[in-house]
Amino acid sequence: MGRMIAILVARLIFGAVFLMATSFKFMDMSATAAYIAAAGFPFPLLLAWLAAIFEVALAAAFFTGVFFSPASLLAGIYVIFLAVAFHGPGRWSGNQAEFGFFIDHFTFLAGLLFAAVHGPGHALVVRLGTARRFA
């Protein structure tokens, strides 16, 4: 019982983190685009929308358990990309907090990799008729 609760809480945390990130994007998409542009990326508004849609899909996968393991791996890649692109070594000079933000992404990655390997558990998982379980 304790294992099931821990897995469900972890799924809820993963989903909530991506849902919160998405909500900030939807509340002010132009601010998100400006942040992306400041990091030097082209087409910042398009990238902001794509990030928001991707984060909604990740949250759905974590909440439902559908495609959980592949979503965990993709989320891990995404999280490390965000660490390097927005909090990488070029941003540490004069702002020690950026280093902390950078490192925090790796702890999140560790949890996502663990989740990818162990899967969504057996409770509260939506099962698709043709979907394979990747755990």
DSSP state string for 58-104 = HHHHHHH-TTHHHHHHHHHHHHHHHHHHHHSGGGTTT-HHHHHHHHH
The mean pLDDT value for 57-62 works out to: 96
User: Residues 40-67: what's their mean pLDDT?
Assistant: 97
Please say if the pLDDT value at position 135 is more than 50.
Answer: no
Kindly give the interhelix angle for 68-87 and 96-118, rounded to the nearest 10 degrees: 170
* CA atoms of 65 and 120, how far apart (whole Å): 5
| pLDDT for 131 beyond 70 | no
Condensed to tens digits (0 to 9), the pLDDT of residues 1-42 reads 888 899 999 999 999 999 999 999 999 999 999 999 999 999
Q: Residue 130: its pLDDT value, please?
A: 47
Query: Which pLDDT value is given to residue 60?
Result: 96
pLDDT digits (tens, 9 = 90+) for 62-110: 999 999 999 999 999 999 999 999 999 988 988 889 999 999 999 999 9
The predicted model scores a pTM of 0.87
